[in-house]
Structure 1
Amino acid sequence: MPYLFCPFQPAPHADNGGCAILPSGWRHPRRRLDSSVMILGRKGNVTLTDNGVPLEIRPNRLVLLPAEHLHDGAAPIAAPASYYWLHFRLPGPPSLLSAEEVAPILSNQIVTRLRLNEAALIPMELDLGDADRIALLFRELLNEQERPSYTKWQFQLLFQNLLIRITEETINSYHPPDTLSAGSSLVYEAVGTINAQLTDPNLSVKSIAGYLNHNPDYIGRQFRSVMGMSVGNYILQQRLKLAEQLLQETHQPVQQIASQTGFASLRHFLRQFRKERGMTPSELRRRYQAMHINIR
């Protein structure tokens, strides 16, 4: 079953939605849209196909119809049916991941948090554990559409919240396969090695490869495939994350924090911190302290 990978930057855009109330004998029209559609079943069953693959809309099930796919009703419905629908657009063509590509993302919590930190992941079909919560979000979107607030961003924020909640359902309902690919298992080992040796300034893909007894190029390719970034960038981001924590929670000098987080020099730490965070470590510390002053 394919999954839609939906980054939040640039942000996806919700167009419009509604609630379909359908009589017996109705059949979904054959069409190819330039927008994607999310559907939440409310009553009855509606069968259709997406590029020839059968799908079924039924109560408490979310169905995704990606843009540019050919959608067609499989047969007239036997009894009255109803569902919520929402059209939305992505900045580019839909990015669909196979079940094999999704498995290493959802089978490890560290990978899940990294890959989905700024993205949604929506399967083509999802039986919801908390359908009432998702239905409430659909109704809030429709209410905002009919009685809009002073800003159009309210509708888009509700849509992004819906994407987040659906992704939570996707994560919580996922059952990992009994066995993962050798490449995925190797990446998990690499992540564990990085986290354990993060403060070592000599940590690199070459040293990790030696520790795991694998070819550096192979580890690098597998890591990028699973994690969506290079080994070097992952090491950098984890070091900066640790540095931020030390800047906020301790009074240690910046130079000491640079050394404790694996940077070979203070100069390199300052350059990378400013490049990635848009400010110096001292500026971040001052801002954090200014927002967390306790008045006694």
Structure 2
Amino acid sequence: MLYCTAKASFPAEFLSCGNLVSDGGFLHQRRCIDAFVLILVCRGTLHINQSGRNIDVHENETLLLFPCQIHYGYAPSEGKLSYYWVHFHMTDPESRIISKKELLNFRKDRSNPLLSPFSPSAEAFILPESGRLSMEKRSHLLFVQLLDIAKRENYQSSWKTRYALNLLLLELSSETLSLDRILEDQAPGKLLDIIEWIRSHYDQPVTVEELAARCHYHPTYLTSLMKKYTGYSVNTYVNHIRLSAAKNLLCQGEFLSVSAIAHTCGFPDEKYFMRLFKKQEGMTPGQYRQAFRQKSINAR
């Protein structure tokens, strides 16, 4: 795994962005450009090669294409494909592409002057070549916000688009470090299995007792482990996953009703969903949907 690292005191420069949508058979053109390209797949799978390595980018996964490296589609997409993309430059003259081992060494060696940009109190860009969104999927929402702002700014580079881009990159960096910390904390394997099960089955009815039985834990012990390693109770964690899925559906072009979204995301009671949504987001689902309606779509 490779990472792009740079000081956030040198803001990234926005170039262009959009949303590619294909009904099938999309093959990325072969090219070598002088800019970074960040891709977030929303639907389907993108098959792409970077520097001689084939990479499959699935739904809710990101890919960072590096400057001055050849990339191209190595196979056409099957079925529907949708992904967000943004081109940008890093302005930090000391920005680097480093390995996972180098990153971990920087973080462990407190005497290393290169550590300072990566310390918890510092703000830095630490962008993985590939990754998966966190359960909150904040990066997805910030990507939608960037696309919306760019369209309203007529796709011209502006302070709004630049700030929106940098907020997205910092959030992605934060999610990357957060996932690393979970691995470093060495959460029990059974707990990781439960977390993965919740993420895959959030649309189904679930109780603490049922989850505890799956891993042969006492419900109270499972609750304490969840709180220790995720910061959430079991029920709060499940609701966070469901609300994140609901926010993503509200941002997508397919116009599902609020009631349909609630049931799709595992909320049997629409009124409870709306009450919980407003409590967390400070607005209704309908107001949230209206906030980010515009974005560029490249149909292929």
TM-score when normalising by structure 1: 0.54
For residue 10 of structure 2, give the secondary structure of its aligned residue in structure 1.
Answer: coil
C-alpha separation between the residues in 1 aligned to 2:61 and 2:21? 16
Aligned pairs (5 A) from 1:36-185:
36-91=36-91, 92=93, 95-106=96-107, 114-116=116-118, 117-130=122-135, 132-148=137-153, 152-174=158-180, 175-176=183-184
C-alpha separation between the residues in 1 aligned to 2:165 and 2:146? 7
C-alpha separation between the residues in 2 aligned to 1:171 and 1:45? 25
For residue 48 of structure 1, give the secondary structure of its aligned residue in structure 2.
Answer: strand
- Contact 1:40–1:63 (CA under 8 A) maintained in structure 2: yes
Structure 2 stretches of 5 or more lacking a match?
Answer: 187-300
C-alpha separation between the residues in 2 aligned to 1:122 and 1:147? 27
**Matched AA of 1:132:** K
C-alpha separation between the residues in 2 aligned to 1:35 and 1:46? 20
C-alpha separation between the residues in 2 aligned to 1:26 and 1:156? 29
For residue 129 of structure 1, give the secondary structure of its aligned residue in structure 2.
Answer: coil
C-alpha separation between the residues in 1 aligned to 2:57 and 2:107? 25
For residue 11 of structure 2, give the secondary structure of its aligned residue in structure 1.
Answer: coil
C-alpha separation between the residues in 1 aligned to 2:175 and 2:11? 21
C-alpha separation between the residues in 1 aligned to 2:176 and 2:159? 26
Pair 1:55–1:176, CA change in 2 (3 A) = farther
- Size of the alignment, in residue pairs? 178
**Which segment drifts farther, 159-168 or 102-111?**
102-111
1:8 is displaced (CA, Å) by 2.2
- Contact 2:107–2:115 (CA under 8 A) maintained in structure 1: no
C-alpha separation between the residues in 2 aligned to 1:78 and 1:152? 36
- Contact 2:24–2:79 (CA under 8 A) maintained in structure 1: yes
1:143 is displaced (CA, Å) by 1.0
For residue 32 of structure 1, give the secondary structure of its aligned residue in structure 2.
Answer: coil
Pair 1:37–1:16, CA change in 2 (3 A) = same
- Contact 1:60–1:131 (CA under 8 A) maintained in structure 2: no
- Contact 2:61–2:132 (CA under 8 A) maintained in structure 1: yes
**Matched AA of 1:163:** L
Pair 1:38–1:136, CA change in 2 (3 A) = same
C-alpha separation between the residues in 2 aligned to 1:7 and 1:136? 23
- Contact 1:106–1:176 (CA under 8 A) maintained in structure 2: no
**Matched AA of 2:102:** E
C-alpha separation between the residues in 2 aligned to 1:153 and 1:113? 30
1:30 is displaced (CA, Å) by 0.8
**Matched AA of 1:164:** L
For residue 31 of structure 1, give the secondary structure of its aligned residue in structure 2.
Answer: coil
1:56 is displaced (CA, Å) by 1.8
Pair 1:106–1:44, CA change in 2 (3 A) = farther
C-alpha separation between the residues in 2 aligned to 1:93 and 1:30? 28
Q: 1:157-210 CA deviation, whole Å, 9 max, x = no partner?
A: 1111111110111101113499xxxxxxxxxxxxxxxxxxxxxxxxxxxxxxxx
**Matched AA of 1:13:** E
Structure 1 stretches of 5 or more lacking a match?
Answer: 179-296
Alignment match, 1:228: none
- Contact 1:66–1:94 (CA under 8 A) maintained in structure 2: no
1:77 is displaced (CA, Å) by 1.1
- Contact 1:105–1:115 (CA under 8 A) maintained in structure 2: no
Tell me which of the two structures has the higher relative contact order, counting C-alpha pairs closer than 8 angstroms and 6 or more residues apart: 2
Pair 1:151–1:75, CA change in 2 (3 A) = closer
Q: 1:38-86 CA deviation, whole Å, 9 max, x = no partner?
A: 0111000011111012222211111100111110111111212110001
Moved over 6 A (4+): 108-113
1:94 is displaced (CA, Å) by 5.8
C-alpha separation between the residues in 2 aligned to 1:148 and 1:75? 34
Aligned-residue CA RMSD in angstroms? 2.9
- Contact 1:106–1:171 (CA under 8 A) maintained in structure 2: no
